[in-house]
Amino acid sequence: MPDTRSNTKRWLRHPHETALRMDSRPLFSLDESMTAPSPKDADIRPPAQRGAVFLDRDQTLNIDHGYTHLVDDFAWMPGAPDALSLFHRHGIACFIVTNQGGIGREIFTAAQMQAFNDHLVAQAGLAGGHIQDIAHCPHHPEAVSPAMRPPCGCRKPEPGLLLGLAAKWNIDLAASVMIGDRDSDLAAGRAAGCHAYMFDGTDLSGLARQVINRHFADSPGGDNA
């Protein structure tokens, strides 16, 4: 079979060597590299700390039936899919921080919670959103095992879940926002140094727009209308 590929595409012929250019031109000239910074210059610098959005799970993203853990019980709260899509289109990383004391109470297992979370993450993707990571607290004051009872540092209103994610993902907490349906969510967010917003259950996408306008106004792209 004759090679009909043009010269300009020759350097792409090896799938595992896409960075290998077959011609001798440099990637950029010195003159080009010394001109005023362009937006692309920022892309090759080491990633700076950025703000993120921390979301409570039950009764913020999904409807809470009380110790919700069955995939069949999954249902979005009003506006949640659009909120996740909005954050993603603006390049804002979304994390879930959730108390799952039902594990400590042995109402459900960590594996059941994981299956529910996997389903939520998949549904978020179908809605155009993206959940970067999920942190949960399995402890509960009435846990079956004393070892699963607080104090633990991670059960909201403690800030441990947010602090752990911030360390793991290099998040600027002072530029971040916590959204939840309970005072304990807001307290955890504030204790971590974040802004905090109560979701009243009516429309999470409306709240997402407010948060983006107030705290992520310089974020890229997206339809902010």
| Binding at 158: pick from Zn ion, Mg ion, none (beta carbon under 5-8 Å per type) | none
**Helix/strand/coil for 58:** strand
| Binding at 137: pick from Mg ion, Zn ion, none (beta carbon under 5-8 Å per type) | Zn ion
Q: How far apart are CA 52 and CA 218, in angstroms?
A: 13
Closest approach of Mg ion to the CB of residue 180, in Å: 6
Amino acid, res. 148? M
Binding track over 149-178 against Zn ion, x by CB under 5 A: ---x-xx-----------------------
CB distance 91 to 208 below 8 Å: no
Q: How far apart are CA 76 and CA 120, in angstroms?
A: 9
136 interacts with Zn ion by CB under 5 A: no
DSSP state letter for 12 = G
135 interacts with Zn ion by CB under 5 A: no
Closest approach of Mg ion to the CB of residue 32, in Å: 52
Rank residues 12 and 152 by Cβ distance to Mg ion and give the closer one. 152
Q: How far apart are CA 94 and CA 120, in angstroms?
A: 13
Give the nearest residue (CB) to Mg ion. Answer: 59
137 interacts with Zn ion by CB under 5 A: yes
Binding site for Mg ion (CB under 5 A): 56, 58-59, 181
Rank residues 58 and 158 by Cβ distance to Mg ion and give the closer one. 58
CB distance 149 to 139 below 8 Å: yes
**Helix/strand/coil for 152:** coil
139 interacts with Zn ion by CB under 5 A: yes
Rank residues 66 and 153 by Cβ distance to Zn ion and give the closer one. 153
140 interacts with Zn ion by CB under 5 A: no
| Binding at 80: pick from Mg ion, Zn ion, none (beta carbon under 5-8 Å per type) | none
Rank residues 90 and 156 by Cβ distance to Mg ion and give the closer one. 156
The phi and psi torsions of 205 (rounded to 5 degrees) equal: -70, -35
Token pair, residue 91, equals 């390049």
Rank residues 90 and 117 by Cβ distance to Mg ion and give the closer one. 117
Scanning the chain, the segments in alpha helix (DSSP H) are 30-33, 39-43, 80-89, 101-104, 110-126, 160-169, 183-191, 204-215
Which positions lie near Zn ion, rule CB under 5 A? 137, 139, 152, 154-155
